Amino acid sequence: MDRSVSLGFVVKGGLWGRAKDRLGIAASTNRLSNDHAVYSAAGGLGVTIGDGRLSYAGEKIVETYYAIGLGGGPHNALTFNYQFIENPAYNSDRGPVSIFAVRLHGEF
């Protein structure tokens, strides 16, 4: 990516009576420079993009997660995550894509 803008925040669960929980939301928009988009559309390859058929469009991502605080330590949590990506890898012919994830984090 050559240009990116992002914004996000986290709200602690004390607001709804679950002090160890957290809710996070973030959004970003990513763009390529004109030269980079032309290079990729002509078949150029990059680390994460390039299949020779780039129909360029800016990539937009929205992500949210909810972390349930678990006992045994301040960082132990079960987290549910969702990402929505429009024009993944800057290609309007791809997506949109929804990604779901679950993570268990524990420290001793």
Quick: pLDDT tens for 66-91: 999 998 777 899 999 999 999 998 88
Sheet with 3-12, side-by-side order of all strands: 3-12, 22-31, 59-69, 77-86, 97-105
Cβ 32 vs Cβ 1: under 8 Å: yes
Taking only the tens place, the pLDDT of each residue in 14-70 is 999 999 999 999 999 999 888 887 877 777 666 667 666 777 889 999 999 999 999
pLDDT at 48: 67
